[in-house]
Structure 1
Amino acid sequence: MIMTVTSMLDNVLRIATRQSPLALWQAHYVKDALMATHPGLTVELVPMVTRGDVILDTPLAKVGGKGLFVKRA
């Protein structure tokens, strides 16, 4: 999960998240916690697809390298 404050003037926080059930659950959990503690904050979840999500026909060990699930596809 990547969190970026794009505009403090707008009080909008965009959180990039993978679309797997676990990643979405985690992102929603963080979003809810942030909104509960910062009532004026707007939190948007931004779905993204990573290289690790796209490469389905090759074992991850063979693809190699780090960051397969953090680099955009």
Structure 2
Amino acid sequence: MTADDEPHGVRVHLDRLLAERDMTLTELGDRIGITLANLSILKNQRARAIRFSTLAKICAALDCQPGDLLSFEEPDA
């Protein structure tokens, strides 16, 4: 297991925010210019990093704060 494969404990709540705003992943991608593939990686908890510019675009489109989108849970050792 490499350092990139280790559990990091950061959770992305994109599904919940999209549902609350009655928006699809495709619509979000179209609004912010991010590919559906990259948004799917984020939504499915497979992302290892996110650019601040991407985070800012998502927050602007969903009218939320970074803390609404991301949370931290201690990973199981």
Q: So what's the TM-score if we normalise by structure 1? A: 0.26
Structure 1 or 2: larger helix share? 2
TM-score, reference length from structure 2: 0.26
* Greater strand content: 1
